[in-house]
Amino acid sequence: MRKLVALSAFLLIACATVSPAQQSAPSTSSTIEKVAEGVYAALQPDDLRFDDANSAIVILDDGVLVVDSQVSPLGARAVIAEIRKLTAKPVRWVVNTHWHGDHVQGNIAYQEAFPEVVILAHHNTHRDFLKRTMPMLEEDRKAAAAWIERASKALQTGEANGQKLTAEQIEGVKARLGRQREALRKLEAVTSFAPPNTMFSGRFYVQRGAAEAVHYAGHTEGDLVVHLPKARVLVTGDLLDDLPFTGHGSPRALVATLDKLDALEWDALIPGHGSVRRGREHLRQVRGLFDAIVTQVDRAVAEKLSLDDTKKRVDVSAFRPYFVTDDASGRYWGFFVGEAVARAYAEATEKK
pLDDT digit string, tens, across residues 296-340? 999 999 999 999 999 999 999 999 999 999 888 888 899 999 999
Per-residue pLDDT at 327 = 83
> If residue 253 lies in a helix (H) or strand (E), which one and from where to where?
helix 251-263
pLDDT of residue 182: 86
Q: What is the CA radius of gyration of the chain?
A: 20
* DSSP per residue, 156-197: HHTEETTEEPPHHHHHHHHHHHHHHHHHHHHHHT-------S
Contacts of 135 (CB under 8 A, 6+ apart): none
Ramachandran category for residue 126: left, alpha or beta (phi over 0 → left; psi -120 to 50 → alpha): alpha
Looking at residue 13, its pLDDT comes to: 44
26: Cα separation from own chain's centroid: 18
Q: Write the DSSP string, 259-320.
A: HHHHHS--SEEEESSS--EESSHHHHHHHHHHHHHHHHHHHHHHTT--HHHHHHH---GGGH
How far apart CA 45 and CA 49 sit, in angstroms, is 6
Residue 351 — very low, low, confident or very high, per pLDDT cuts 50/70/90? low
DSSP bridge partners of 60:
63
Tell me how far apart the alpha carbons of residues 264 and 278 are, in angstroms, rounded to a whole number: 14
3-state secondary structure of 153: helix
What is the pLDDT confidence band of residue 31, given thresholds at 50, 70 and 90? very high
| H or E stretch at 31 | strand 31-36
Residue 23 has pLDDT above 60, yes or no: no
User: What is the model's pLDDT at position 80?
Assistant: 97
Strands 224-228 and 233-237: antiparallel
DSSP secondary structure letter of residue 115: T
- pLDDT tens for 90-149 read 999 999 999 999 999 999 999 999 999 999 999 999 999 999 998 899 999 999 999 999
Most confident option among 7-21, 43-57, 77-91: 77-91
- Residue 6 predicted with pLDDT over 60: no
Residue 30 clears pLDDT 90, i.e. is over it: no
Is 216 in contact with 225 (CB distance < 8 Å)?
Answer: yes
What's the average model confidence in pLDDT over 196-224?
95
How much is the mean pLDDT over the chain?
A: 90
Q: What is the pLDDT at residue 183?
A: 87
229-283 pLDDT, tens per residue?
Answer: 999 999 999 999 999 999 999 999 999 999 999 999 999 999 999 999 999 999 9
Percentage above 70 pLDDT, the chain: 91
Instruction: List the 268-271 sheet strands across, edge first.
Output: 203-207, 211-215, 224-228, 233-237, 268-271, 277-278
Q: What is the pLDDT of residue 94?
A: 98
Confidence at 190, pLDDT banded by 50, 70, 90: very high
Question: Taking a C-beta distance cutoff of 8 angstroms, is the pair 218, 250 a contact?
Answer: yes
Among 134-138, 198-202, 260-264, 285-289, name the one with the lowest average pLDDT: 134-138
Higher per-residue confidence, 319 vs 172: 319
Among 4, 9, 112, CA closest to 52: 4
Q: How far apart are CA 262 and CA 208, in angstroms?
A: 21
Percent of the chain with pLDDT over 90: 77
What are the chain's domains? Answer: 1-280 (3.60.15.10), 289-350 (no CATH)
